[in-house]
A = this chain, B = another copy of it.
Amino acid sequence: MSDEQFAAAPEWTVSEWLNVAEPLNLAALRGRVVVALAFQMLCPGCVQSALPQLKRVHDTFDSSRVAAVGLHTVFEHHDAMSPTSLRAFLHEFRFDFPVGIDAPDPAGGTPLTMRRYSMQGTPTLMQIDAEGRLRQQTFGHDADLRLGAAIMALMLEAAGG
């Protein structure tokens, strides 16, 4: 439907998965639309706006067609946002979608997946189609109306393929 060419979404490098029985990866999600949010648990815009939006995505769409996934991309205050703190945060705020911890760079700074996607900061929302291509990457906030439309477009593309 479009003349644009989209590259495959780079694989995620995740050191630990939470809220899910088995580790996830992009190959395993093939066939489903993926809405993935890079966040930090101490980023106010993530806590107040982007994570509640991802939860709405998780609660609104059929999980066999749309996968809502969080990626904890810690690039500052590393000691303050440990896996232990993240686990308590997700529990207390009732964020029950799968969350992967972006693998830290042993040299410090930006974690591996965040760097591979050239993200500018958090929150960053990725839309990945059912064939694993990165269709959109947005730093900051996108309105629900627009996001709902974008998700449906990818769902129907997958269904009609």
Contacts and interface: CB of A to CB of B under 8 A. Distances in A.
A43 interface: yes
Contact of A146 (B60, B82, B143): B60
Interface stretch (A85-93, A100-108, A124-132): A85-93
A143 B82 CA distance: 34
Interface of A: 1, 42-44, 47-48, 56-57, 60-61, 77, 79-82, 84-85, 87-89, 91-94, 143-153, 155-156, 159-160
A92 B148 contact: no
A43 B147 contact: no
Contacts of A160: 160
Contacts of A93: 42, 44
Of the listed residues A56, A91, A146, A148, the one surrounded by the most CB atoms of chain B closer than 10 A to its CB is A148
